[in-house]
Amino acid sequence: RLKPFNRLQVILQHLKMSKHTDSTAEVLLEKRGGAGIITLNRPKALNALTLPMIRQIYPQIKTWEQDPETFLIIIKGTGGKAFCAGGDIRAITDAGKVGDRLTQDFFREEYTLNNAIGTCKKPYVALIDGITMGGGVGLSVHGHFRVATEKTLFAMPETAIGLFPDVGGGYFLPRLSGKIGFYLALTGFRLKGRDVLKAGIATHFVASEKLPDLENDLIALKSPSTENIADLLNSYHVKSKVDEGKQFVLDEHMEKINSLFSGNSMEEIVRKLKQDGSPFAIKQLETISKMSPTSLKLALRQLREGASMSLQDVLTMEYRLSQACMRGHDFYEGVRAVLIDKDQSPRWKPAALEEVTDEFVDGCFKPLGNNDLKL
């Protein structure tokens, strides 16, 4: 018979193994064929990302990266509504109010995971079916392949809650064509379905109902190269006829977006919008006027600087900004207004763009010494 200690070890080992396939776990990690599969499993919370999930996903990606029998990594969400609707903002808010370490640890480890995805040596395929916002964008956009469906709903809505489009937004947003990225970052505009592909955020478009077949075909590939995986994704992509003939939702506005959102400062962008006076411009003014003035200024500078930085330098910059937001007022007020009380009437401090000084903004970008993010 096993000695008590050994028996405990066996039980613990069994629990550890079953945790990964336990349907109540927040993340399911499994190896099927040549594929490592990450399944975000908080359907009731729209698969919002928690720190324990990050702490399971990161080492698993690193392990699969080194494993000669793993040829690709697939990430997806359960529940049919969302890939991942964002980070667990409620938990971060609660932590910030009581000075808990989570406000440092969450962003540090989330951005470290974003970088692991961006530098992953194995082809990384994100099936972004359903809501993909904030932290969910960070889990997908830096990988090799992003497969959108007609159910995909993409947005970076952070300026509405006193944050900024983080998780590497400062890297990928300014690299989209024209000023689309600046427009998406400042207004939180939502892209749907095929438009996520047309904006350059997704690499492929596949009908939602075809994803299980696609996944099975990916798993069945024998020692595939990145090209083999691309070929398979392309073969599904060309067969997807959903919304095929539709014009890109921003097509008719692209000229205006490119000129109006090219201002060097938020004040200049607002001036341009007012001068333009078209229905489109007026609508953007209305949207921007609801956002945190501090967030708008941080986001604009974040994207302008991020345009010429490496992903690692962007994430280091964003970590500094995240900690500035945790020290500030608007994040807690934004979360209160949008997620907790849901009165949608945040009282921003400062309340006007003109009151957010350059000195204050500069301070948010300052290095944190020993507390800086090290990638």
Q: Which residues participate in catalysis according to the annotation?
A: 87, 135, 158, 166
Is 148 in contact with 193 (CB distance < 8 Å)? Answer: yes
- Residue 176, exposed/middle/buried by CB under 10 A (0-12, 13-18, 19+)? middle
CA atoms of 341 and 29, how far apart (whole Å): 35
Rounded CA separation 245/259 (Å): 27
DSSP state of 336: I
Non-local (6+) Cβ contacts of 233 within 8 A are: 125, 145, 147, 203, 204, 206, 214
**Is there a contact between 292 and 162 (Cβ–Cβ < 8 Å)?**
yes
Residue 155 CA to residue 165 CA, distance in Å, equals 9
Q: Look up tokens 């990916």; give the residue.
A: 218
